Structure 1
Amino acid sequence: MPPSHSKTPFIIWQLGLLVFCCVFFSTAQAQQKPQAERELQQLQNQIKRTEQQVKQQQRQLQQAEQKLQQADKALAEASGKVRQTSQRKQQLEQESAKLEKQQAKLQQQLNEQQTLLAAQLKSAYSMGQHDYSRLLLNQQDTGKLERVLTYYQYFNQARIRQLAKINQTAQDLAHIMAKLDEQQQLLARELSALEKQQQQLQSARSSQQDSVQQLQALLKQQGNQLSYLRQNESSLQNTINELRRLADLNKDMSGLSSGKGRFPWPLKGQLLQRFGQNRQGGMPSRGILIRGINGSNVQAIADGRVIYADWLKGYGWVIVLDHGAGFMSLYGHNQNLLKQPGAQVTSGEAIALVGASGGQADAGLYFEIREKGEAVNPLSWLSRQ
């Protein structure tokens, strides 16, 4: 066995190796620590930038939605003014037509009265060509004189009455003509206002289209169209749930069951999207989309009561009718609403105007039927076109 003093160099060597390893690893660790901290700092900065980008995108999206809502409201206001002015113009035209008929009738009466007066004057003149002057000088035939004087008195009274009629007719005719002239001036002003309002309507429609394109481009750029549609769907469902709660209080209507398959279409037009068909973004549709013409009437499919009439994100101007027994019908993307909550409507009555509100590129009507809050296929309830 070797002596113990022979192990000393080996132990010293091991201790040296251990010290070297400690120093080496400490040095390596010291060198790696700043790099790890730098990478962590870079990651944290990247996270902050991403969060800022997301917040900026959310602000942009919110601003685009607000612009779209403002454009939809401006368009609704402009179309409402055009509709009111058009109705006023139609009333003025009808009143003008009545006044023109009265004018023609009075003119005819005046012509007849003038003809009758001329005949009376001619008759009086003819009588005057006889022996009237002689009769006045001839005191022998007093009976004949009295008769002639009586005839002349009758003629004079008739002429006075006829002249009074002519005078009254002329006054009436002058009044009618003045009123007709006033109506024509009013009509000219209404037409001028209508032209300006139609220009405002066109400007509002262009603004709406710009907002729609901006919103769609932003959604495409951010790649969150599906999320946006889900938010809209959730907003609609929450609204429907609240409306259903309110509708449950209404017990005076029988619902839609008895007329299934026979209800009139709310709008005649091409069917662009069917129930359950995937919309842009991959969400299944809870209703149908019907192509329409801007400003044309949207009609109620059945008797009901308006329980909602307002702007709803993703659906624009929406009106909802309660038909009783848990049935509701929903009409979206309208240009303007013609009824307010609480109004009673009948089947076929105009309740809105076709538009492209809520982010639609083209004019059309989004239509749903809900039974106890659940969307059902509207085509099963509507008659065949």
Structure 2
Amino acid sequence: MLFGLLSLLIAAPAASDPRTSSEQELAEVQASIRQTEQQLKQQQQALQQAEQQLQQADRTLAQAGQQVQQQQQALAETQQRMQQLVAEQQALEQQFGQQQQQLATQLRSAYQLGQHDYSQMLLNQQDARQLERVLTYYQYFNRARMQQLHAIRQTAGQLTQVQQELHSRQQQLENQLQALQQRQQQLQQARTEQQSTIRSLQHLLQEQGQQLSYLRQNESSLQATIDALKAKAQQVQLAGLTALKGQLQWPLQGRLLQRFNELRQGGLRSRGVLIEGTEGSAVSAIANGQVIYADWLKGYGWVLVLDHGDGFMSLYGHNQSLLKEPGEQVMAGEQIAQVGRSGGQATAGVYFEIREKGEAVNPQAWLQSR
């Protein structure tokens, strides 16, 4: 019995040793931390992969959109040339008919003159002056007939060439129409893939609870880009926007989905406005300027920035594709991009900002009232 009690006394401290308990808890915490870090790492990898997929989807869509526009332009040029050829053909046919009528008139005159037979006049010893006059008429009509025949042959050759080119253009037009239909199918497929990628990215952000962090990263990236562009903006001499305040035309006519300084999803305030539009429609420059940035930017998709001089810049984001390159001069109202939903935007439209010396200002104070 004494041995049993001693055994219990010895065993009791071992069972309640605080060091063992603390070490076990520490090991569990460390394991939990490692698991959390691993999960965060996986989430970050998933988010980066989703962003890369979105960027690739935006690039594919932009390329398809540009190809469709190029095909439409080529198609319009071919149709215009065909209209010119049809007009040329009608003019040549009218000319050909007039030349034939002139030739017929000359032949009738020659026939009537031919009633005075030259050999008969010689045998009858008619007046030599009359004979000379008749010979002159013969020579005149002969030259006129030869010239008219030459003109007819030349017109006929031109008409044949026009008809051949018209046939060639018709075939070209049919090929361009077929190519345009294929490009439009590719464009639609690219849009579908982009929208699917956008939904995946948004779902991932909501699942990870990183919407605010993602928006802050995007805004920081945009601000850094604007700051870097301020130095470039000093290289061009433009009049600025001050004299045009309240008169600037809108880059896109559409419903305002988001106003300046309005709370965005995630709790951040907007530094611009979001204008709803139809995918592929025109985005126009608000004023004369020079392109100083045209590239894909995280969170804003395809972005184009114009420098208007005197510290003023305008920014156009979420485009489907960009139609201008850095360094190009643009005029007010000129198309610079196509409406889209790049950069993860769920609704087609244009994100628009005006910056004065790098600071965002309310665009509605500068644009025409509507």
Q: TM-score, normalised by structure 2?
A: 0.92
Residue 140 of structure 1 deviates from its aligned partner by: 4.4
The SS at the match of 2:16 is helix
Question: In 2, distance between residues paired with 1:180 and 1:323?
Answer: 46
Which moved further from structure 2: 64-73 or 172-181? Answer: 172-181
- Which residue among 164, 178, 181 is the counterpart of 2:164? 178
Match of 2:14 in 1: 27
- Which residue among 312, 318, 322 is the counterpart of 1:333? 318
Match of 1:240 in 2: 226
Match of 2:53 in 1: 67
Q: What CA deviation, in whole Å up to 9, does each residue of 1:243-279 have, x standing for no partner?
A: 12332x3362232222211111111111111011111
- Taking structure 1 as reference, are residues 144 and 218 closer, same or farther at Cα in structure 2, changes over 3 Å only? same
Match of 1:295 in 2: 280
Q: What CA deviation, in whole Å up to 9, does each residue of 1:324-359 have, x standing for no partner?
A: 222211110011111111222222121111111000
- Which residue among 292, 307, 330 is the counterpart of 1:322? 307
The SS at the match of 2:250 is coil
Question: In 1, distance between residues paired with 2:231 and 2:113?
Answer: 93
Question: In 1, distance between residues paired with 2:8 and 2:181?
Answer: 92
Question: In 2, distance between residues paired with 1:251 and 1:341?
Answer: 12
Is the aligned partner of 1:304 residue 2:289? yes
The SS at the match of 1:84 is helix
Which moved further from structure 2: 67-76 or 291-300? Answer: 291-300
Which moved further from structure 2: 109-118 or 275-284? Answer: 275-284
- Which residue among 49, 66, 69 is the counterpart of 1:83? 69
Match of 1:212 in 2: 198
Question: In 2, distance between residues paired with 1:127 and 1:97?
Answer: 45
Residue 26 of structure 1 deviates from its aligned partner by: 1.9
The SS at the match of 1:82 is helix
Identical amino acids, percent of aligned pairs = 58
The SS at the match of 1:290 is strand
Question: In 2, distance between residues paired with 1:295 and 1:229?
Answer: 26
Residue 134 of structure 1 deviates from its aligned partner by: 4.3
Residue 126 of structure 1 deviates from its aligned partner by: 3.2
Match of 2:344 in 1: 359
Question: In 2, distance between residues paired with 1:322 and 1:26?
Answer: 78
Contact 1:251–1:325 under 8 Å retained in 2: no
Contact 1:316–1:333 under 8 Å retained in 2: yes
**How many matched pairs?**
366
Question: In 2, distance between residues paired with 1:155 and 1:185?
Answer: 45
Q: What CA deviation, in whole Å up to 9, does each residue of 1:98-140 have, x standing for no partner?
A: 1111111111010001111112222223344466674354234
The SS at the match of 1:383 is coil
Match of 1:262 in 2: 247
Question: In 2, distance between residues paired with 1:28 and 1:384?
Answer: 81
Pairs within 5 Å for 1:116-135: 116-129=102-115, 134-135=120-121
Question: In 2, distance between residues paired with 1:27 and 1:58?
Answer: 44
The SS at the match of 1:264 is coil
Residue 287 of structure 1 deviates from its aligned partner by: 0.5
Residue 294 of structure 1 deviates from its aligned partner by: 1.3
Question: In 1, distance between residues paired with 2:67 and 2:11?
Answer: 86
Contact 1:303–1:345 under 8 Å retained in 2: yes
Is the aligned partner of 1:345 residue 2:330? yes
Q: Which amino acid aligns with 1:314?
A: G
Match of 2:99 in 1: 113
Question: In 2, distance between residues paired with 1:87 and 1:150?
Answer: 59
Match of 1:8 in 2: none
Q: Which amino acid aligns with 2:13?
A: S
Residue 190 of structure 1 deviates from its aligned partner by: 1.8
Q: What CA deviation, in whole Å up to 9, does each residue of 1:211-242 have, x standing for no partner?
A: 11110111111111111111111111111111
Question: In 1, distance between residues paired with 2:240 and 2:132?
Answer: 89
Question: In 2, distance between residues paired with 1:155 and 1:378?
Answer: 79
Match of 1:274 in 2: 259
RMSD: 2.2
Residue 88 of structure 1 deviates from its aligned partner by: 1.4
Question: In 1, distance between residues paired with 2:299 and 2:97?
Answer: 67
- Taking structure 1 as reference, are residues 194 and 23 closer, same or farther at Cα in structure 2, changes over 3 Å only? same
Q: TM-score, normalised by structure 1?
A: 0.89
Question: In 1, distance between residues paired with 2:117 and 2:245?
Answer: 94
Residue 35 of structure 1 deviates from its aligned partner by: 5.0
Question: In 2, distance between residues paired with 1:45 and 1:158?
Answer: 109
Question: In 1, distance between residues paired with 2:165 and 2:300?
Answer: 47
Structure with the greater alpha carbon radius of gyration: 1
Question: In 2, distance between residues paired with 1:191 and 1:66?
Answer: 34
Is the aligned partner of 1:203 residue 2:156? no
Q: Which amino acid aligns with 1:357?
A: S
Q: What are structure 1's unaligned runs of at least 5 residues?
A: 1-16
Contact 1:92–1:187 under 8 Å retained in 2: yes
Q: Which amino acid aligns with 1:305?
A: Q
